[in-house]
Amino acid sequence: MNAPSGRLHERASWKPYDLGLIMPIYNEAQSIEATVQRWHVALDGLGAQYRLYLLDDGSTDGTGAILDRLAQLSRIELVHKSNTGHGPTIFAGYLMATNHCEWVFQCDGDDELGPEFLATFWNHRHDHDLIIGCRKGRRQSLLRKLFTVGAGTLVRCLFGSGIRDVNVPYRLMSGDILQRQLPCLGKSPVVPNILLSALSCRAGLRILELPVHFHAVAGRTSSIGGSKALPFAFRAFREIIRVSLGCPLS
């Protein structure tokens, strides 16, 4: 689905990399080596100057040591950081990449959405400001479904329509536009991708949604669940409302 015709992608300044890929990682010791290798091969296949940013969000299962070894591959930048959660880690990656990359892609390190769609996204970049995945084949818990529906409905009501899967961690964004959007999000938002989707709808950016196939990972549990679900949802919805009002987040 395309958003209404709006702001065109304009290159504001020269940046050394065509593409920066942001990958937040937490406790993925069983699969992260194969996942990073697959993404590295896919990025090489684009023929672009790129940087792969691996952000270790305080892993405790040996992931950090594996990433230290992978960091010896070319074009990889590894950051070990204290655990702050998925959203703040993505946000930290965006802040790093927008200074150096014309385009920014975000995916997760859990291999639920693989690199097989990357080239298609990349090939559509010249005609769009934001290319965003729409997950197919995804099975969600009841709490996750309620959060997804609630967040999407709130975004549509406050910012306008244009994106179905507002929180998908599989998106290619103009680095210059992203750089202008990030200050609106505050210091450490828990749902930066939802907020960026919302701001993009309001701005009338050229948005393209493409289907991406979801691969369930055995034994994985939702990050939105248990006793943390309601506080997380409350904070997320509060962030969406405050950004809609133009209020900076503390």
69-84, pLDDT tens digit by residue? 999 999 999 999 999 9
For residue 248, being part of any structural domain is answered with no
Q: What is the pLDDT of residue 136?
A: 87
Residue ranges of the chain whose pLDDT lies below 70: 1-13, 218-227, 248-250
Q: What is the pLDDT of residue 76?
A: 97
The pLDDT tens digits of the residues spanning 224-250 come to 556 688 999 999 999 999 999 997 654
For residue 24, being part of any structural domain is answered with yes
For residue 40, being part of any structural domain is answered with yes
For residue 223, being part of any structural domain is answered with no
- The total of structural domains in the chain comes to 1
Q: How far apart are CA 50 and CA 75, in angstroms?
A: 7
For residue 2, being part of any structural domain is answered with no
Q: How far apart are CA 115 and CA 100, in angstroms?
A: 22
For residue 197, being part of any structural domain is answered with yes
Q: What is the pLDDT of residue 215?
A: 81
CB contact at 8 A, 101 and 174: no
For residue 149, being part of any structural domain is answered with no
Q: What is the pLDDT of residue 216?
A: 74
- Containing structural domain, residue 27: 17-139+162-216
- Rounded (to 5) percent helix, strand, coil in the chain: 40, 20, 40
For residue 243, being part of any structural domain is answered with no
Q: How far apart are CA 66 and CA 109, in angstroms?
A: 13
- Here the CATH number for the domain that contains residue 128 is 3.90.550.10
Plot region of 53 (φ>0 → left; ψ -120 to 50 → alpha; else → beta)? beta
- Structure-block tokens of residue 21: 């890929």
Q: How far apart are CA 23 and CA 89, in angstroms?
A: 9
Plot region of 75 (φ>0 → left; ψ -120 to 50 → alpha; else → beta)? left
